[in-house]
Chain A
């Protein structure tokens, strides 16, 4: 989805001010939101790719006016509503009205596991064998067009020539996972000359993106 989130290369947003670096959370609720987002989907059928998909669907003006963790809240709430864990009425009223449908193992997440997930994240690498089409140094071109749904190939890198910098192994394809298909493909780090992406870029600068097999075509 080429929504408002796909801002790479767009102008007019002003200078990025990195001066508040070092402040992890700007309010206590942000830390709480961070922790909640890591544990809320324990035993629920959604992950980060679904939350990203939902964030991308926010109304554009609302998206631009929302803080980072406000978007996390929106994305997680949208998924909890979609799978039927909470309803609009419950959110508005602030209290549980009916028990949610049984979704997998109803066991609560043990505190120790929650801590591990919060601090270490969850690896998504797979061991399944999959077709390795490219090797380091191969020239590739990215797809010229996006797809309707969630994708990790940004607009500014469409139809561009790049070089395989690293072969990362087999990973679930974010684009497919967000669409409800748990497909696995090889993931590659692809390097692009910044000048190929933006006319006014510094010569010698480069941009690297992690892209899946389906995003790439051979250029040789």
Chain B
């Protein structure tokens, strides 16, 4: 989905000013939002590939005005509403109208799961591996309307395969419930290939991209 989140290479957003001594959380509610986002999927299963598209579907001007954890909040609420765990009326009134069927999570199960993470690697899967390190590749020129991990600035660009990571779930398909993995590669692009001659010579940028995002280039 080429929506507001796909900002790479866009102009007019001003200089990035790094915050000195930036805290992990700017307010207690941010830490709470982080924990909630990690805990809710125990009861209502979702992963990053459902969570990210939920952020990408935010109304664009709302997206631009929202901070990092505000976007997390929006995504979690959207997912819970879409799965009928909470309703708009309940959110407005803060009063639960019906008993949720979601399972409660045991507190002692949450922390180990957060630290364990959820790997998208599927090392045992047998998938095609069309490219090797050093191969010249060109990325796809167009993507569909769904979630994908090939940003607009890297479409139809020439790059070199830097490493081969083996089979991984494909974010595009995983987001809609298709769990067929593909080989994942790290592909390196020169900054000049992406941004033109005004980019600094020698700079490069690497992206992790799946097999179906790439074609051979001679």
A and B interact:
yes
How many pairs, one residue from A and one from B, have CB atoms within 8 Å of each other in the complex?
Answer: 66
On chain A, the residues within 8 Å of B143 by CB distance are: 199
On chain B, the residues within 8 Å of A52 by CB distance are: none
B57 touches A12 (CB 8 A): yes
A112 to chain B minimum Cβ distance, whole angstroms, is: 40
Q: With an 8 A cutoff between CB atoms, is A145 at the interface?
A: yes
On chain A, the residues within 8 Å of B61 by CB distance are: 61, 64-65
Size class of the contact patch on chain B: 20 to 34
Partner of B142, one of A2, A56, A145, A197: A197
On chain A, the residues within 8 Å of B14 by CB distance are: 59
Q: With an 8 A cutoff between CB atoms, is A60 at the interface?
A: yes
Main secondary structure of the interface of B (DSSP, over half): loop
Q: With an 8 A cutoff between CB atoms, is A114 at the interface?
A: no
Q: With an 8 A cutoff between CB atoms, is A4 at the interface?
A: yes
A153 to chain B minimum Cβ distance, whole angstroms, is: 12
Q: With an 8 A cutoff between CB atoms, is B202 at the interface?
A: no
On chain A, the residues within 8 Å of B142 by CB distance are: 197-199
Partner of B65, one of A61, A144, A159: A61
B53 to chain A minimum Cβ distance, whole angstroms, is: 11
Q: With an 8 A cutoff between CB atoms, is A148 at the interface?
A: yes
Knowing A145-B195, A200-B144, the reply to whether A12 touches B60 (Cβ < 8 A) is yes
On chain B, the residues within 8 Å of A155 by CB distance are: 152
A18 to chain B minimum Cβ distance, whole angstroms, is: 20
On chain B, the residues within 8 Å of A61 by CB distance are: 61, 64-65
Q: With an 8 A cutoff between CB atoms, is A9 at the interface?
A: yes
Which stretch, B2-10, B15-23, B29-37, B79-87, touches the partner chain A?
B2-10
What sequence of 0s and 1s flags, for each residue 6-35 of chain A, a beta carbon within 8 Å of any chain B beta carbon?
100111111000000000000000000000
A3 touches B57 (CB 8 A): no
On chain B, the residues within 8 Å of A64 by CB distance are: 60-61, 64
Q: With an 8 A cutoff between CB atoms, is B196 at the interface?
A: yes
CA distance A60 to B4 in the complex (A): 10
Knowing A144-B196, A197-B142, A199-B142, the reply to whether A60 touches B64 (Cβ < 8 A) is yes
B11 touches A11 (CB 8 A): no
Q: With an 8 A cutoff between CB atoms, is A1 at the interface?
A: yes
B178 to chain A minimum Cβ distance, whole angstroms, is: 18
Partner of B12, one of A12, A56, A146, A198: A56
B141 to chain A minimum Cβ distance, whole angstroms, is: 8
On chain B, the residues within 8 Å of A215 by CB distance are: none
Q: With an 8 A cutoff between CB atoms, is B121 at the interface?
A: no
B10 to chain A minimum Cβ distance, whole angstroms, is: 5
A193 to chain B minimum Cβ distance, whole angstroms, is: 11
B2 touches A11 (CB 8 A): yes
A30 to chain B minimum Cβ distance, whole angstroms, is: 21
What sequence of 0s and 1s flags, for each residue 59-97 of chain B, a beta carbon within 8 Å of any chain A beta carbon?
111001100000000000000000000000000000000
Partner of B4, one of A2, A12, A199: A12
Q: With an 8 A cutoff between CB atoms, is B145 at the interface?
A: yes
Residues of B near any A CB (own CB < 8 A):
1-4, 6, 9-14, 56-61, 64-65, 141-145, 152, 156, 195-198
Residues of A near any B CB (own CB < 8 A):
1-4, 6, 9-14, 56-61, 64-65, 144-148, 155, 159, 196-200
A/B interface sample: 5 pairs, CB < 8 A: A10-B4, A14-B59, A64-B60, A197-B142, A199-B143
The 6 A-B residue pairs with the shortest CB-CB distance, nearest first, are A145-B196, A12-B3, A199-B142, A3-B12, A64-B61, A61-B64
